Amino acid sequence: MSLKYTPDHEWVLVDGDIATVGITHHAQDALGDVVFVELPDVGKTLAQKDVAGVVESVKAAADVYMPVSGEIVEVNENLKLDPALANSDPLGAGWFFKVKLSNAAELAELLDETAYGELTQ
């Protein structure tokens, strides 16, 4: 499995041709307490950098972008019921959706942990 990041503060955990997507610790820190998430519909196909959802907090609302192109194969129903999971466990139980990759070459455009760390300093 490979963990990558976007400059827009999404993380992507790739396992074969399925990528799990969520927001980073940096994003949830900046947003504050998450109170609502809007997730994409299962079966929807989106292109890289398309808006896939929305996360709302007590401070602001922010779009969640597609880090890679593909079809949404699963959404985190627990996150819809308990949006605070995005704060308490953003890299675990607070994942947003899973996408079946349609262009694995796009993964090369994403940041590794070192590059993302430099971006957020």
Domains: count for the chain: 1
Best CA proximity match to 80, nearest among 114, 43, 35 = 35
pLDDT, one tens digit per residue, over 42-59 is: 999 999 999 999 999 999
Instruction: Please state, rounded to an integer, the average pLDDT across all residues of the chain.
Output: 96
DSSP 87-98: HH-TTTTT--EE
pTM of the model: 0.95
Domain that holds residue 33: 2-103
In a domain, 60, yes or no: yes
Residue 109 resides in a domain? no
Evaluate whether residue 80 is within a structural domain.
yes
Per-residue pLDDT of the chain (121 residues; tens, 9 = 90+): 789 999 999 999 999 999 999 999 999 999 999 999 999 999 999 999 999 999 999 999 999 999 999 999 999 999 999 999 999 999 999 999 999 999 999 999 999 999 999 999 8
**The CATH number of the domain where 29 resides is what?**
2.40.50.100
